Each structure stands twice: as C-alpha cells, then as structure tokens.
Structure 1
Amino acid sequence: MFGNWLKTSILMAAILALFGILGAFIGGKTGMLLALLLGGGMNVFAYWFSDQMVLRMYNAQEVDAGSAPQFYGMVRELAQRAGMPMPKVYLIDEAQPNAFATGRNPEHAAVAATTGILQLLSARELRGVMAHELAHVRHRDILISTISATMAGAISALANFAVFFGGRDADGRPSNPLAGVLVAVLAPLAAGLIQMAISRAREFEADRGGAEICGDPNALADALMRIDACARGISMAPAEAHPETAQMMIMNPLSSGGIAGLFSTHPATVERVARLRAMVRS
C-alpha cells in the first residue's frame, strides 16, 4: 500500500511539474513560479471542491431511498458489507453504461451511475459494479483520480493559452510559434500518460476489492464484459467534452477517435476479467 501511495505521489508531482514547464514556456521564470503557485492552489481547491465539479460536468442528480429505492438500497447494503460510511448516490441521465466514484475521503464520498448501466445490467451485475466503486472509496483512490482529472484539464487549458498568446524564452524574448504548437500537443499527452499510470494499477485493485465486497467475482466479471460490449457504440457527451475525467469511470467512456482515444487509462477488459475469474478458482 505504501509503495502504491509513493508511486501516486511521484506521478502527482510530475503533473505539478508540467504546470511549471508550461508556465516557464509562457512567461519565463516568472511564469514558472506563477504556474507552480497556481498548480499548488488548484490542488488545494480540488481537494475540497473537485468532486462537485465533476458531478456538475455530468449533470448528476442525487437520489435517495425515496427516488431510487432499489439502487440506493443496493449501495447501502454494499457499504454496510464493506464497513464504510454511506456515500451520496447520484444518477446520470446518459445512455452509455458507466459509473464512477468521487470525493475527498470515505466520509465525504459519492458514487454515480448512468441510467444506461441500470438498464443494461442485472441486479447481480450492478452489485458488482457498485462494489467496485465502493472499493475505490475504501482504497481512497477517489481523491487522487479527481484531483488528477482537474489538474489535467487545467494543463490542457494552459497549453491552449500558449498557442494563442505564444511563449517566452529564458531571456523574455518571444519563442518560436512552432514551439507553442508542440507544447499544446505534447503537454496534454504527457498529462494523459501520467493519468494512465495512476489509473491502471488502481483499477485492478478496485476490481479485486469490489469482488470481495460483493462476494461474487463473476458478477463483476460478467458486468465488465457486458459494459465493454455495449459502451463502445454509445457516446457520452460530457466525457468527450472533458476527456480528463475518463480515468474515473469503471470503463473508458471515450470514443476511439482523436488524440484522447490514443491512450487508455483502463487495463484491457479481458485481463481484468481473467483476474476476477482466477479469484473464483483460487
């Protein structure tokens, strides 16, 4: 566990370093200092408010035992099995089957699922999915994933700023315009690679933890296969508009087109399923 947190801390530091590099390109030494201060401030802001930002991006609506009794009751039962505080529960009116968790800690957590996943999966399979999300909460993955999504989005915005307003070299002279284009392309890709490194190992751990919470590894394996088969053909507009949030989902919600589709923040579904099936045989 310590090694996992150390790796994540290093990767988060790399995202902050990207802020500094972009700041140095845009405004020299002063720009680097300002960007590092901005990145540090954004980390503090993201700690407190990034969960609500993400939920608003997806127009998630909070539900309770009165408005969604079966779904809410399922999450409550799983949280009790896991010995965890009850998270807030949200529904997202999107056809693509998907789900995610967010929040700064288990006491301030939320789980969200699309209406598409509720329609697609059986109750048994849906239990596996929501147990996976609760495992993210229990492992305290949700803060890291939400902050990294916020920071990656800010890096993309800074990179676009560099293209439109140009950059400065160490002596304050305007830099080559082509350098601005390269920065605009490479900086978001670098942020995506860092997110990918953060996310993949945590998905395997959440699969294992979710299988333990629900007591049925095959339920989650079956759900992953069904989601993978259906999600590819259904777009999700909020995810396409905010690709930095893709790594929060149980399955990559992005279409295969464009730069965002070149890097998957999720392990291959066949490998995830194989690991879950192995838990049953062991």
Structure 2
Amino acid sequence: MIPSHWFRRIILIVFIMEVAGGILWVTGRLSTNPAAKPMTQALGSLIFLFGFYASAPLSARFLAPRPSRDAVLQERLARIVATVPDSRPVFLYDHADKEANTVGLLPSHSRIYVTTGLLASMSDEGMRGVIAHENAHVHERHIFATFTYACCFAVSSHLLDNNNFFFAAFLLFLGIRRYCEYRADAGAAQSVGREAMLTALRELAVLYPSKSWVRWFSFANAYPTLAMRMRAVETGRKALL
C-alpha cells in the first residue's frame, strides 16, 4: 500500500474487508451442497483477488488523490524520467515517507508513484535507478505473476486439506517475490546502467539503515535486504533465502 494519510488507509482497508466479507457470505449462501463448497469458495477467492489487483490503480488514486504542487520537484522528476528508456507514467505526490511503488495488473494500466520525501532525499542518479527498477517490475509483469500465484494458492488451499501445503506455499512465495526484486534490479541495471542501480541501493541503505539483528530474520522476509541486492547487482549471484 502506497503511503497516504492514515484516515484514507483505514477507509480503504475497511472497504476491502467489507468486500471480502460480502463475497464470502455470497459464496456461503450459494454452496448448498457441502461437497461443492470448496470449489465455490475457491471461485469467490478468485473473484476477490481479481478485483483487488485490477482495482489497484483506483485505490492508489484514492490514497494519493492530488499530485505535488512543488514545481521544482516536478520539473526535476520530469528530467529524470526522460532519461529512463520506455518509462511508465510517474506520479509525484506529497508525503514525508520515502517510497516508490508501482500499481497496475498489466503494463498498459501501470503507474509509478513516488513521494516527494523520496525525491528530495536522493540524487538524480539514484532516482534514475529507483524509477528504472519500478519500470522493470512493469515490463516483466511481476505484479501479474504475483496475482497468478495468489490465484493458484487460493484455489489449492480450498481444494487441498494439507497443513504442509501452507508452509511449502509460503517458501515458494518468498522465492517468487525475491526473484522479482532481483530481476527488477537486473533490468534496471541493464536499462540505465549498473552504477545508477547501485547508487540507488546505496542511497536507500542510508535512508533505511539495517539493524544488526535483521539478517537473522531475513529468511522470513518477502524482500531481500539492500545488502543482498547490492551484492547481486555487483556479482550477478542471487540468494533467494
């Protein structure tokens, strides 16, 4: 979820929970045959997931309704985006958090959101790496890959009665998410140069310093650490766990 005012985030979360509850109630009412209940619930999960991912651009517009009015930052961002090959539209909005996010199930509907806090805290070279990284997510359809996996997991969890399945599915999820991050870094390095991507990761490491104990729990994180990502860009070797 992209950074926004806490009240807007609460409204969106409550709305999503209400929609999910409504779909669960409807599927429960439709499954009069106990034998058909798992399949009906799996269908309801697919409907919810499609709506959740497909409506992400609308959710993002609700969370960040207005672009930043800082003309200096807007002009600077436009210059940076112009140097990134085949970039998707980049939306700059006012927020103190230092983040960049991509929304959109398909590349043609994708949009990149950047906070003024991040843009003001990074160099032009570092922002080139960040935007190229987000664009790589779009061009390689990583959001669609995550959606596909979520659908497979939802259907399988309803049809399979096996506790070991959830553990295996969790490990696979970690692998997919980390693979996508490494692929986005590699794509960005190919698009704007390895040094630009490394500059972005180094500046992010300064903005978000890692605690010494984080490495002991990194295996349970869906994202590789910044140090792992820098090492992968420098050497080409990726560590999924």
Instruction: Provide TM-score, normalisation by structure 1.
Output: 0.54
Query: How much has 1:127 moved relative to structure 2?
Result: 0.5
Counterparts of 1:51 and 1:69, CA distance in 2: 24
Counterparts of 2:149 and 2:69, CA distance in 1: 27
Kept in 1, the 8 Å contact 2:133–2:188? The answer is yes
Q: Secondary structure at the match of 2:223?
A: coil
Match of 1:218 among 167, 175, 195: 195
Alignment partner, residue 64 of structure 2: 59
Match of 2:175 among 186, 192, 197: 197
Structure number with greater CO (CA < 8 Å, separation at least 6) is: 1
Query: How much has 1:113 moved relative to structure 2?
Result: 1.6
Q: Which moved more, 1:264-273 or 1:221-230?
A: 221-230
| Structure 1 residues 123-134: aligned runs within 5 Å | 123-134=124-135
**CA distance 1:230–1:88, shift in 2 (3 Å):** same
Structure 1: where are the runs of 5+ without partners?
A: 1-22, 156-169, 171-182, 234-255
**CA distance 1:68–1:129, shift in 2 (3 Å):** same
Query: How much has 1:269 moved relative to structure 2?
Result: 1.8
Structure 2: where are the runs of 5+ without partners?
A: 1-26, 155-160, 237-241
Alignment partner, residue 117 of structure 2: 116
Alignment partner, residue 222 of structure 2: 265
Q: Deviations over 1:134-160 (max 9, x none)?
A: 111111113334x37987xxx8xxxxx
Give the residue type in structure 1 aligned to 2:121: L
**CA distance 1:109–1:32, shift in 2 (3 Å):** same
Kept in 1, the 8 Å contact 2:133–2:184? The answer is yes
**CA distance 1:143–1:73, shift in 2 (3 Å):** farther
Alignment partner, residue 33 of structure 1: 39
Kept in 1, the 8 Å contact 2:110–2:138? The answer is yes
Provide the aligned C-alpha RMSD in A: 4.0
Give the residue type in structure 1 aligned to 2:56: S
Matched, 1:276 2:233: yes
Query: How much has 1:101 moved relative to structure 2?
Result: 1.6
Query: How much has 1:91 moved relative to structure 2?
Result: 2.8
Give the residue type in structure 2 aligned to 1:274: R
Match of 1:209 among 166, 187, 193: 187
**CA distance 1:73–1:61, shift in 2 (3 Å):** farther
Q: Deviations over 1:190-242 (max 9, x none)?
A: 87655422210111111011011112x12221321321332359xxxxxxxxx
**CA distance 1:123–1:262, shift in 2 (3 Å):** same
Match of 1:74 among 80, 99, 103: 80
Kept in 2, the 8 Å contact 1:46–1:150? The answer is no
Counterparts of 1:265 and 1:63, CA distance in 2: 31
Matched, 1:48 2:25: no
Q: How many residues of Structure 1 are paired with residues of Structure 2 in the alignment?
A: 193
Query: How much has 1:75 moved relative to structure 2?
Result: 2.0
Counterparts of 2:133 and 2:182, CA distance in 1: 10
Give the residue type in structure 1 aligned to 2:191: I
